[in-house]
């Protein structure tokens, strides 16, 4: 259950209603939104108490929630959320949004050239890693702050937005200066201190499903960000571990219609990590849009063979152009654009 307070209440009045609820033994977690405060109820309370709360002068409405992920649920918000990026691009609207770029920012020239190709292909957002979570500690870990600088510069030159990965609570403030969308990778899906910190930001967060996570676990992870007051959460299906050895992961496209049914949050798909094979990326991109995805996250490189990380799954920028054209045709077929 969620108690929605009336707009523009003073802090004193908010404190008054919380004391009233405490006396009724109703435990709540406050969520600050731009124009009003929500009180997320922990547990249940009696029907009589519910009627008393509903009649309180500071209460606007009470929303019954039938899911453990309260703020992400369609029970709370039954229209799809549209997340505006840079004032122009909208994720979750009618248009399919494509984010593309290299796994890692390698050099200034590399990211500038790729950004130009990404823009030319018809994509709206430049992706690139400056801080890289790698399985082995001796693998390339990214350029760090200088990589962020190169990434932002390349995006600005080509009028693209930026998405890059954040690994640690200590990096949030730095990365926020350079990115338009925080990316939370599969290994950090259940890094709750990081998610809570991102909940304090006003910038969108793309949350990748953990490689062994259930749909419920993904949505509960999103709840940590939403509970902090950040409404701009984008869910990402990026493949899960199964018994199949022929692909890096198994891209679970069941997730797309399931999540679209359960939540108002936008859903994008990462077919690059989801397959780990460059020759499967275009086909799975088409399938993702047909399944109802709002966008794609694609690894693209000028010369994938020379990519420092994830070379097997990166497509060339020429392949990216073909992918965008194909996706546009699928989008029209499913009443998108």
Write the DSSP string, 75-143.
TT--S---EEETTTEEETSSS-EEEEE-SB---HHHHHHHHHHHHHHT-SEEE-BSS---SSTTS----
The segment(s) of the chain belonging to CATH 3.30.70.1140 are: 2-63
Each of the 337 residues of the chain gets a pLDDT tens digit; together they read 899 999 888 889 989 999 989 888 888 999 988 778 999 998 877 777 888 888 889 899 999 998 999 999 999 999 999 999 988 899 999 999 999 999 888 899 999 999 999 999 999 999 998 876 655 665 555 678 888 999 999 999 999 999 999 999 999 999 999 999 999 999 999 999 999 999 999 999 999 999 999 999 999 999 999 999 999 999 999 999 999 999 999 999 999 999 999 999 999 999 999 999 999 999 999 999 999 999 999 999 998 887 776 778 899 999 999 999 999 999 999 999 8
Write the DSSP string, 45-65.
--HHHHHHHHTSTTEEEEE--
Using CA atoms, how far apart are residues 194 and 279, in angstroms rounded to an integer? 34
Q: Which CATH class is domain 2-63?
A: alpha beta
pTM of this prediction? 0.92
| Domain 83-333 architecture | Alpha-Beta Barrel (3.20)
The segment(s) of the chain belonging to CATH 3.20.20.70 are: 83-333
């Amino acid at each position: 259950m969620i108690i929605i307070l009336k707009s523009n209440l003073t802090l004193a009045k908010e404190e008054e209603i919380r004391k009233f609820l405490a006396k009724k033994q109703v435990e709540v977690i406050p969520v600050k939104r731009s124009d009003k405060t929500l009180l997320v109820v922990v547990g249940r309370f009696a029907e009589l108490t519910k009627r008393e709360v509903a009649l309180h002068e500071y209460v606007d409405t009470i929303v019954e929630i039938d899911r453990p992920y309260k703020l992400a649920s369609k029970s709370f918000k039954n229209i799809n959320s549209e997340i505006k990026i840079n004032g122009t691009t909208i994720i979750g609207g009618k248009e399919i949004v494509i984010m593309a770029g290299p796994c890692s920012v390698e050099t200034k020239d590399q990211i500038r050239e790729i950004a130009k190709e990404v823009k030319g292909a018809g994509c709206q957002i430049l992706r690139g890693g400056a801080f890289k979570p790698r399985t082995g500690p001796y693998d390339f870990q990214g350029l760090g702050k200088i990589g962020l600088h190169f990434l932002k510069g390349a995006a600005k030159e080509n009028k693209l937005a930026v998405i890059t990965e954040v690994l640690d609570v200590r990096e949030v403030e730095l990365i926020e200066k350079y990115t338009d969308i925080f990316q939370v990778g599969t290994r950090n899906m259940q890094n709750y201190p990081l998610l809570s910190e991102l909940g304090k930001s006003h910038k969108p967060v793309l949350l990748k499903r953990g490689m062994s996570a259930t749909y419920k676990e993904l949505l509960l992870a999103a709840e940590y960000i939403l509970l902090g007051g950040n409404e701009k959460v984008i869910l990402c299906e990026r493949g899960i571990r199964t018994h199949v050895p022929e692909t890096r992961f198994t891209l679970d496209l069941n997730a797309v219609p399931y999540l679209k049914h359960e939540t108002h949050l936008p859903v994008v798909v990462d077919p690059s990590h989801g397959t780990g094979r460059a020759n499967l990326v275009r086909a799975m991109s088409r399938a993702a849009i047909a399944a109802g995805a709002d966008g794609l996250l694609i690894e693209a490189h000028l010369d994938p063979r020379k990519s420092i990380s994830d070379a097997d799954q990166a497509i060339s920028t020429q392949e990216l152009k073909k992918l965008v054209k194909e996706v546009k045709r699928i989008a029209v077929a499913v009443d998108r654009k």
